[in-house]
Amino acid sequence: MLEQVNWMRRCHSQFTLFNNHRLEIKTHGVLQNPRDYSIDIGILDPHPKRMRKIAWHYLLISSALAAAAWFQAFVNLTTDSTLLSVVLSASAGLSLVPAVYRSHDRLVFYSRYGRVPLVVLFNRLPDRTTFEEFTEVLAKQIKDARAQFMCLNETLSEELKAHRRLREEGVISSRRYDIVKQRILAQHSCAKSGPESN
């Protein structure tokens, strides 16, 4: 099990991996609806993608405000300029909040053919060692779970069923499901019978 708490985003997530190739995901946050669902990890791509985003524009705004505050404090030594430098400094500090909130570093496991982000982990939470141990075990079990599907057609059928269930549970939208369905059916039409290369 992996438990992640992101204090900045006021988000709490719990990932429980079961021996029958099921992963249960519970995510609750102040700014988002609770999401509780489980997936057969056999439909996941064992190679996650790292998604890093830095809110540069907020950082630039904060830097500009801090520079203006410094200029007012050390160049214009008047009472009005001191008050203005305090206001600019406070604004610079406040602009760091959305910069931190909008920046993220995540590891995302997508469904293999539908390309839906089904497992989203905050990188290195709760700590680097625990995080890496969990992701290594998860990737290995995904590869093991894929062995239960004898051919590509079976894999595609199971993945389509899984996405349909996730749509019915409200985990993915109907619009996203329609896109996924077209992707999987396109793979289905050109799939050949025979063992799948995992």
Report pLDDT digits (tens) over 130-165: 999 999 999 999 999 988 877 888 889 899 999 999
Q: In what order do the strands lie in the sheet with 22-29?
A: 2-6, 11-17, 22-29, 32-40
Q: Residue 90 pLDDT > 90, yes or no?
A: no
Span 42-53, average pLDDT: 92
Give the residues across from 15 on adjacent strands: 2, 25
Q: Is 152 left (phi over 0), alpha (psi -120 to 50) or beta?
A: alpha
The answer as to CATH 2.30.29 being correct for domain 2-53+103-190 is yes
Amino acid symbol at 16:
T
Confidence bin at 193 (pLDDT 50/70/90): very low
**Do residues 23 and 16 lie in contact, with contact meaning Cβ atoms separated by under 8 Å?**
yes
| φ, ψ at 91 (rounded to 5°) | -65, -40
